[in-house]
Amino acid sequence: MNLSQQDWISQLEADTNAVILDVRTEDECNEGIIPNAIMIDIYKGQGFIYQVEELEKNKNYYVYCKAGGRSAQACAIMNQLGFENTFNLEGGFMQWKGEVAFPEEK
């Protein structure tokens, strides 16, 4: 389901079963992420599917990318894998006005 930035944030804040998922590349994530996001690069193809399949299907996933295209694709893939509640951030990180964190160095 596509949500506007405002709806995505307000629904996320009220959701006690939420997981934030960033599907951008590592380089993009290094420019900043939404706090507490887990990062799984959709460009990894089958690797993306393997990692997503390890996630709990009963959680609510708030998915974003840079502009909203890849995250919409990720939501569609996740729905096919049996995830019932995926929410795509319209406009993606480019339009994000909320808090920004940086991934921890490995």
- Position 7 in a domain: yes
- Position 16 in a domain: yes
CATH number of the domain residue 73 falls in: 3.40.250.10
3-class SS string, the chain: CEECHHHHHHHHHHCCCEEEEECCCHHHHCCCECCCCEECCHHHCHHHHHHHHCCCCCCEEEEECCCCHHHHHHHHHHHHCCCCCEEEECCCHHHCCCCCECCCCC
- Is 29 assigned a catalytic role? no
**Into how many domains does the chain fold?**
1
Range of the domain at 34: 2-95
Active-site choice (65, 75, 78, 89): 65
- Position 105 in a domain: no
* pTM across the whole model: 0.96
pLDDT tens figures, 50-84: 999 999 999 999 999 999 999 999 999 999 999 99
- Position 12 in a domain: yes
